[in-house]
Structure 1
Amino acid sequence: MKRRDFVQYAGMGAGAMMMPSLLLGNDIPAEALLEPGMDTVLKKKMADVALNTAKSMGATYADARIGRYLNQYVFTREDKVQNVVNTESFGIGIRVIANGTWGFSSTNDVTEDGIKKATQHAVSIAKANSKIQKEPVVLAPVQGHGEVSWKTPIKKDFKEVPISEKVDLLLNANAAAMENGANFVNSALFMVNEQKYFASTDGSYIDQDVHRIWPTFNVTAIDRQAGKFKSRQALSAPMGMGYEYMDGLESEKLSGPEGIKLYNRSYDIVEDATMAAKQAKQKLTAKSVEAGKYDLVLEPNHLGLTIHESVGHPLELDRVLGYEANYAGTSFATLDKWESKDFNYGSDIVNLIADKTQEGSLGAVGYDDEGVKTKKWDLVRNGTLVNYQAIRDQVHMIDQNESHGCCYAQSWEDVQFQRMPNVSLEPGKEKYSLQDMIKDVDKGIYILGRGSYSIDQQRYNFQFGGTLFYEIKDGEIVGMLDDVAYQSNTQEFWNSCVKICDKDDYRLFGSFFDGKGQPSQVSAVSHGSSTSRFNGVNVINTGRTI
């Protein structure tokens, strides 16, 4: 399946039938989601079987990850439930270094015999690989943490909320959209709980309980006489939270211009669906944009995707080094640019950070899948490239001796590798609101939400669309626009950033199914920002042909 098709299907009702089996696991009844699973005493015992077996066979390092992955997906369309999916996946992955080379194996036979066989397989793979390995693996040191635990700070566990309540919420959102002019609407609710246990020969035994949630929908309005249709996606963001995200308790605190509602750590799906139907109808008669240079006011739900593609991916060290190339290319941000210590990634107000600790984000965990305690670090400071994203066997390549803690595997049966942490744009330091920003724009466009996009194989030249577009003239929004996309390159774009709203406007965007690697794996990651202004960006009209 093509990447963009996967992303689209993953958000819609048909998605359950199109998703890889590893995301779905084995079908189980909903009540089985509440079963406690293997206790930590037994997990430690099973993990030690892997570690001791690996050492007895000559491995100099080993780690074991016991994972129980629980998923619940609900899909609806108009007044019908299309599917409810409850799945569980359980097993162990063992990674070793023998003769200076990595080996990996996994099994769902989580017994002493099953684990011994998988570990022996992993060591055999490492020893076989070592015959062609040119240089031994170099691991950054990690001090063992002993027995520790971490849990996503949730208020309401989705597994304890009746399915009927979730279905009713989605159907109420669909009904609200239909009552306000939508011709079609489908909605989905993705909920994930990862119960992960990590143990290593470094002396760590780490138990983590990770929760994520993503409500989404797509509303379509049709003008049958004109033969046109327009759609509007949800303005929600996937979050590292419990079901409390669906309570909508904080949605009234954030309001944009033109009565637009903005959502942060709480989401009102019925309210958003109501707005979506009205806005989809408005898009049918919206003015088509005149191509040219505009000052762009980009809200966080939109800017997050641009950050993801033009900052997050190009600053992955494996992509920079060319180790990751077949899946979405390499990177323009090569080592010589970082080594110069003065590569101008953006304007001097641009500060881009990586952070695996940010509460509410999709990437928030206490420890990564190598047992490294997670942290926050700079990627771009005052516009200058200062660092990358790297894991234990990479950081020595950039003369550092501490992993950044961004190693991740999508499941127990996949080997962990470098994945994007939360990558975010720091808010402005002075008090400055969205309304202040719009007042300062003479000729511009306010863009909300995600849309189609394209970026080249070095993550440099790109084009981004959006969900909603509003024309700004002389400091005021004067109406809706359509057929908008902007073109730039990464360095030019980030150097055109002239103003960033303060922390009161800061919000998260997220990607629930971000793909990378071969065989491909997905991960979940957030990108935070405040509304930001980029001056003199080239805007094209996507609705006109030459």
Structure 2
Amino acid sequence: MPTNTHLPRTLFIHCPGSSISSGEVAAESTQRRNKVRIRCLILKLEELKDLADYAIGQARSAGASYAEARIHGASGNESLLKNGEPEPAVLVESFGIGVRVLAKGALGFSATNSLDRRSVKQLTVGTVKMAKSAGALLKKPLVFDASKPVKKKWKAEEKQKIEGGDVKWLGSLLREIDGRLTIEEVGVKLPGRFLTAEASLEEKYYVNSDGARVESRVPRVHFFGILTALENGETAQRMIQQGESGGLEVVERLDLVKRVEREAKTLGEVLRKATKPPEGTIDVVLSPELSGIAAHESVGHPQEADR
């Protein structure tokens, strides 16, 4: 499918002043500021709904037999801890629109974060032209079935609102995890500890020329860590990645603090008990996580022609 993407780098706002240590007190409630940011995301999405409808109209006027547009907004906070010391917090906000059309039996797709009518019209008309050009090369035109259009609103369940996941809350979570990674707790020295935690909200508005309209709200909590263990001059490293859609209760549902602690203890066991593999040609049994990444890199990427 032909694509045309006008997406400058996502806006990452690094805020050194937002790295709050346990002894600091913010002048203004960070949770309140976070709620304001999330609210702004929702309000902006509401304002941009007309832009999606406008894109559909422009696509049909340009000759598309079918068109769909998706407004996509995301807002998030991320805290980082490196060897027990806070790094600058990261605040992320991004908005964009994606347009897909069917013209002359071919599909075309474009996206931009220039959210004004002039830019969206230019993008949409260009997408239709691109699809028409591709259609001339097809032996068999693409067609969609006559599915009934859907009008729905849906959201991922959250018991504890994601708005509470400000940089202060995330930093507190990381300090709790880091506090369990001492040699007394896990039985091995961990000189390298890189921990990050993120709380984010993703909102989408989808509309197509058949009359479908779908709105979604998906909060997420994500943790990533790299632990490096050292014992008797030998090192072992482990990357930990955990996350789910949902509210702040995800941390308890994943049993995150104890999970990271268990991973650290396993590193110690690896250093003390692991033996060198035999030399020569041998059979290798891969764990599920290794077989998954092997298939991803060796099969998935080549099929996408990006390797």
- Shorter-chain TM range is 0.7 to 0.9
Matched, 1:216 2:224: yes
Matched, 1:177 2:157: no
Q: Secondary structure at the match of 1:183?
A: strand
Q: Specify whether residues 126 and 25 from structure 1 end up closer, same or farther in structure 2 by C-alpha distance, changes over 3 A only.
A: same
Partners of 1:105 and 1:27 in 2: how far apart?
A: 26
| Corresponding position of 1:133 | 138
Q: Specify whether residues 232 and 26 from structure 1 end up closer, same or farther in structure 2 by C-alpha distance, changes over 3 A only.
A: closer
- Letter in structure 2 aligned against 1:202: D
Matched, 1:144 2:129: no
| Corresponding position of 1:54 | 59
Q: Which has the higher contact order (CA 8 A, sep 6+)?
A: 2
TM-fit CA distance, 1:167: 0.7
Q: Specify whether residues 305 and 293 from structure 1 end up closer, same or farther in structure 2 by C-alpha distance, changes over 3 A only.
A: closer
Query: How high is the TM-score relative to the length of structure 2?
Result: 0.76
Which aligned pairs between 1:61-140 and structure 2 lie closer than 5 A? 61-140=66-145
TM-fit CA distance, 1:195: 0.7
Q: Specify whether residues 278 and 41 from structure 1 end up closer, same or farther in structure 2 by C-alpha distance, changes over 3 A only.
A: closer
Partners of 2:108 and 2:226 in 1: how far apart?
A: 43
| Corresponding position of 2:170 | 166
Which aligned pairs between 1:49-448 and structure 2 lie closer than 5 A? 49-146=54-151, 148-180=152-184, 181-223=189-231, 226-234=232-240, 237-246=242-251, 248=252, 265-269=253-257, 271-288=258-275, 303=288, 306=291, 328-330=301-303
Partners of 1:179 and 1:293 in 2: how far apart?
A: 36
Structure 1 vs Structure 2 CA RMSD: 3.2
Q: Specify whether residues 273 and 101 from structure 1 end up closer, same or farther in structure 2 by C-alpha distance, changes over 3 A only.
A: closer
**Quick check: 1:222–1:229 contact (8 Å CA) kept in 2?**
yes
Q: Specify whether residues 150 and 88 from structure 1 end up closer, same or farther in structure 2 by C-alpha distance, changes over 3 A only.
A: same
TM-fit CA distance, 1:21: 7.0
Partners of 1:122 and 1:21 in 2: how far apart?
A: 18
Q: Secondary structure at the match of 1:88?
A: strand
Which has more helix, going by share of residues? 2
Partners of 1:287 and 1:41 in 2: how far apart?
A: 56
List per-residue Cα deviations over 1:66-85 (Å, max 9, x = no partner): 11122322221122112321
List per-residue Cα deviations over 1:188-245 (Å, max 9, x = no partner): 113332211110012111111122222132222212xx431123443x6321222211
- Letter in structure 2 aligned against 1:163: V
**Quick check: 2:45–2:71 contact (8 Å CA) kept in 1?**
no
TM-fit CA distance, 1:132: 2.6
TM-fit CA distance, 1:179: 4.1
Q: Specify whether residues 75 and 241 from structure 1 end up closer, same or farther in structure 2 by C-alpha distance, changes over 3 A only.
A: same
Identity %: 23
Number of residue-to-residue matches in the alignment: 275
Partners of 1:283 and 1:227 in 2: how far apart?
A: 13
- Letter in structure 2 aligned against 1:231: Q
Q: Secondary structure at the match of 2:181?
A: helix
Query: How high is the TM-score relative to the length of structure 1?
Result: 0.45
Q: Secondary structure at the match of 1:195?
A: strand
Partners of 2:46 and 2:267 in 1: how far apart?
A: 54
Partners of 2:198 and 2:164 in 1: how far apart?
A: 15
- Letter in structure 2 aligned against 1:329: P
Q: Secondary structure at the match of 1:328?
A: helix
TM-fit CA distance, 1:36: 4.1
Q: Secondary structure at the match of 2:244?
A: coil
Partners of 1:519 and 1:94 in 2: how far apart?
A: 23
Partners of 1:25 and 1:112 in 2: how far apart?
A: 21
TM-fit CA distance, 1:62: 0.2
Partners of 1:305 and 1:239 in 2: how far apart?
A: 21
**Quick check: 1:178–1:185 contact (8 Å CA) kept in 2?**
no
Q: Secondary structure at the match of 2:182?
A: helix
Q: Secondary structure at the match of 1:90?
A: strand
**Quick check: 1:174–1:273 contact (8 Å CA) kept in 2?**
no
TM-fit CA distance, 1:120: 1.1
Unpaired runs of at least 5, structure 1: 1-19, 249-264, 320-324, 331-516, 521-546
